[in-house]
Amino acid sequence: MKKNERALIVEKTLNKLYPTVPIPLKHNSIFELLIAVLLSAQCTDERVNQVTPSLFSIGGNAYEMSKVSINQIYKIIRPCGLAPQKSKAIYNLSKILIKNFNGNVPESFEELEKLPGVGHKTASVVMSQGFGHPAFPVDTHIHRLAQRWGLTNGKNVTRTEKDLKKLFSETIWNKLHLQIIFYGREYCKARSCYGIECEICTTCYPKRKKIIIVNKA
């Protein structure tokens, strides 16, 4: 089976299972989305959604957040992990947004990736889920599944992103990356399936017997 044929199987199966997909991180503005995505690094979405209501109640925009001390931010977000670095990043990026963008989140990869604590994946999520621009954020689930499905060699997340963008139409990137995440959480988990059990893995590779060891993100 060719790679583009496997990609078609992936698309059809995910559309059947997830015809609509909710945004995992709860937010009421693009600023809140940016902060939530920043907090989600090495942390579950569930945990982020538990702490952000308290954080956003005192810092729902850049102007409000810039008045909250780093220590206050730290105390609230501590359950998310990496709290010292994240609290400083949140405080400092709020100051930068006020100084350079009138408190607004910039609508470009270049400007987003200049902000403290914001890498390419975070910027991609904001551009996709916040502004609606085509983007393909690659997290650990997507990186793992793309390898199990034979869509990339998984050398690194940058390579995985490029490979997936070539295989799938730009018009479905924003929905597809969320569909893959939900599938990875529910059916093709990190410590199960291993490329030989779930519907997509067995359809793409019906004769596969050996488990797939994936390259980590």
- Choosing from 2, 114, 139, 155, the catalytic residue is 139
Q: Which of 2, 12, 16, 121 is catalytic?
A: 121
121 is catalytic: yes
* Measured CA angle at 45 (ends 176, 39), to 5 deg: 110
Tell me how far apart the alpha carbons of residues 137 and 162 are, in angstroms, rounded to a whole number.
11
DSSP conformation class of 79 = G
What is the DSSP code string of 31-93? HHHHHHHHHTTTS-HHHHHHHHHHHHHH-SSHHHHTTS-HHHHHHHHGGGS-HHHHHHHHHHH
Annotated catalytic residues are: 121, 139
